[in-house]
Amino acid sequence: MIAGFSKFINQYLAPLLSLTSLVLVVFVFLSPVSMLNTQVSLLTVRPTGDNSDGPSIFLGPLGSCERPSNDAGVNCTQPNANPKYDTSFLPGNAPDLLSAPIAATPVFIAISIAFTIAFFFMFTFTAFRHRMGKFGALFEKPDVQRASAWVGLFGFMTGLICFLITRVWFGKAVEDFNKTIISGGTNSPQLVADTSNGFIMVWVAYAFYAVPLVSSMAKLHVTATKQV
């Protein structure tokens, strides 16, 4: 029973979690400027109150989307590795505190996604090597499995660190924005900033990513132990 459960995790569950992680990270990376304009973002500025109407801004790694009211159409900036967020829809007395993290952050996220894609294919081919005939023999080699583990680890660490930096940056921006609104009293616009669901998706994605990564590194450890 244990052997069957282990086989299920390594051959089916882990590749599925790896794919799910990849899809979630790509969605967060491309949103809101390229897809899911108002559904997924890293930071939002909305009118205060659930039923209030007013301007809203949705910020992501590559740019921002804005709408002047709840019923209006959405305008998005062009995707850019060094995004400039468009805050022109906000009232003139709104705090001008929303900026992107350092320019290299989206670039490193893209690099981590590239490594994640490579790891997904390498890990999946390794898991199903027994069904791939002669081509599968390539993934029996310890060097290939070692490369797979290193690729996965580099993609995991690079992406996670980039999103942690972004979370800290946006967390400070949200704190400063809301403090400025509160300190302005009744003269301030009725807006509130908050980190958004994109970060939740990222944390879930990297929790999923950890399963195939640990599996890959465990296989590498077992192989190294046998060679000793």
Confidence grade of residue 4 (pLDDT, cut at 50, 70, 90): low
What pTM did the predictor assign? 0.86
- Domain containing 119 — which CATH number? 1.20.140
Q: Pairing mode, if any, of strands 75-76 and 63-67?
A: antiparallel
Residue 8 scores a pLDDT above 70: no
Range of the domain at 142: 10-227
Residue 163 scores a pLDDT above 90: yes
Domain tally for the chain? 1
Over the stretch 78-111, which tens digit does the pLDDT of each residue have? Answer: 998 888 888 888 887 888 788 888 778 999 999 9
Report the pLDDT averaged over residues 51-79: 88
Report the pLDDT averaged over residues 191-215: 92
Residue 213 scores a pLDDT above 60: yes
Domain membership of residue 1 (yes or no) is no
Residue 150 scores a pLDDT above 50: yes
Over the stretch 99-149, which tens digit does the pLDDT of each residue have? Answer: 888 778 999 999 999 999 999 998 888 877 666 666 666 666 777 788 888
Confidence grade of residue 54 (pLDDT, cut at 50, 70, 90): confident
Domain membership of residue 27 (yes or no) is yes
Report the pLDDT averaged over residues 13-17: 87
Per the prediction, the chain carries an average pLDDT of: 84
Domain membership of residue 142 (yes or no) is yes
Domain membership of residue 99 (yes or no) is yes
Domain membership of residue 5 (yes or no) is no
Domain membership of residue 2 (yes or no) is no
Residue 59 scores a pLDDT above 50: yes
Domain membership of residue 4 (yes or no) is no
Instruction: Provide the 10 A C-beta neighbour count for residue 60.
Output: 31
Report the pLDDT averaged over residues 40-57: 85
